[in-house]
Structure 1
């Protein structure tokens, strides 16, 4: 069952989402060759707690860390470790936090130094597809409209769209209805309603869409070991339109990137 939120609850969820956004911004300052994912995990946990929030992933379904850290051919759910990142890597960093009894859940794939042009293009197209999907998250549309838009955009570039892993509703639980696949048919699936909040998160592979799960029970990699990219935003339907609750602005500030990609999805200015 879809749990619609009041406008007051959506503002509380915005606070939770921004805890995650700010945390990813702090992590972005430290993402460079030589750093380990365990070191980044420690930064994230401290940042979340300093904001009066609780790490949302730590202990969830028995996950052992604050961040899901998934480099290169890992798609999602990678466990932080003491292996240093190296020039040319990419890494998906997925973070969750609980504040006001609501979850925030937000992800970004970082390039470590200079990366291969084909990998850079994968990151660009995957992030584009996130906003392509968000545009379809509006009153009267359906789950399949978002998935179809993401799938069409990514497959036009020859990329594989992961089937087994999906976005999801978000609220007092990390995973609520509905599931939000990154593929589908227009006009199919559950209908969107005012006050819905979801996490939209394209997981897109450079090669095949097929994946495999490792023996640790968490790590997911591409079947052909080619790179995978992952970007995620928390989005609400407010007055019939998609409203971003999370932001990449803190990441961009840390990395010196200028962007206006989020402006069309904000009904009021974001104050950093």
Structure 2
């Protein structure tokens, strides 16, 4: 969507902030022994107490309020009875709707103690996101986001998942611009418009380049191909002449 009024912007900020608060609270609740279902319940409670509804449930009948992906899982992990262990790599992805507007954000967390390479991967995953965000500005090419993230990944000897893209968001969870690459893509020729709302969400990995289903009867959870530790960090933004207005900050 293109933001056309202060009222629309205020509602986008409200749901974005709420999604960010859910990720923040769930991240702080991560500890060995908690199940992913218990973690999901924490996020659900915060959303519902503030008048919001889980977007994956609302839009797709996803079996959980949030997506929680652990270790070998790259995205769309289903909350359940899996018990979090010390050393786990956990991605928490929260999207929700309130007053007809959607927000979408996510972060990856390492449950200590973890290997040094995992600590570095988490830190660099956040850096990759901000590298992409720095390319957001009215009139600039959308391809600049993926090109910058690709340069960062190559320089630091990481790979990128190249079939999980950023996307437009606002009046619905997934809308135009669709399939916005966070990797170098010579076919990406679009330009960023003032007021355009979309996510930036690179998937940085220690070797995976593709996300695929596990073929185990679970139609949701995606795994890296080849299997490798992978992190995702995501913000929802509005394009402005001064750069990105980030909607999904907890404060």
What band does the TM-score fall into relative to the shorter chain?
over 0.9
Q: Is the 8 A contact 1:151 1:184 kept in 2?
A: yes
TM-score (norm: length of structure 2): 0.93
Q: Is the 8 A contact 1:148 1:186 kept in 2?
A: no
**Corresponding position of 1:213:** 213
- The answer to whether 1:228 aligns with 2:230 is yes
State the distance in 2 between where 1:199 and 1:210 align.
19
Where does 1:16-165 land on structure 2 (aligned, <5 Å)?
16-165=15-164
**Corresponding position of 1:4:** 2
Per mean C-alpha deviation after superposition, the further-off stretch among 50-59 and 103-112 is: 50-59
State the distance in 2 between where 1:116 and 1:225 align.
17
State the distance in 1 between where 2:188 and 2:242 align.
19
Aligned CA distance change for structure 1 residues 239 and 7 (closer, same or farther; 3 Å): farther
Q: Is the 8 A contact 2:71 2:88 kept in 1?
A: yes
**Corresponding position of 1:238:** 240
Task: Find the residue that maps to 1:57 and give its secondary structure.
Answer: helix
Per mean C-alpha deviation after superposition, the further-off stretch among 212-221 and 168-177 is: 212-221
| 1:240 shift after superposition | 4.5
| 1:120 shift after superposition | 1.1
Task: Find the residue that maps to 2:138 and give its secondary structure.
Answer: coil
| 1:60 shift after superposition | 2.5
Where does 1:260-271 land on structure 2 (aligned, <5 Å)?
none
| 1:211 shift after superposition | 3.1
Q: Unaligned 5+ residue runs, structure 1?
A: 251-271
| 1:123 shift after superposition | 1.1
CA deviation string 1:188-218 (max 9, x = no partner): 4211010001111011111131332123111
State the distance in 1 between where 2:183 and 2:209 align.
11
CA deviation string 1:226-262 (max 9, x = no partner): 2110100011113442111112xx5xxxxxxxxxxxx
**Corresponding position of 1:264:** none
Per mean C-alpha deviation after superposition, the further-off stretch among 24-33 and 179-188 is: 179-188
State the distance in 2 between where 1:174 and 1:118 align.
33
- The answer to whether 1:181 aligns with 2:196 is no
State the distance in 2 between where 1:211 and 1:99 align.
30
TM-score (norm: length of structure 1): 0.86
| 1:59 shift after superposition | 4.3
Q: Is the 8 A contact 1:4 1:196 kept in 2?
A: yes
Aligned length: 247
Q: Unaligned 5+ residue runs, structure 2?
A: none
State the distance in 2 between where 1:240 and 1:38 align.
40
Task: Find the residue that maps to 2:129 and give its secondary structure.
Answer: helix
State the distance in 2 between where 1:121 and 1:39 align.
27
State the distance in 2 between where 1:193 and 1:93 align.
29
State the distance in 1 between where 2:185 and 2:210 align.
20
Task: Find the residue that maps to 1:177 and give its secondary structure.
Answer: strand
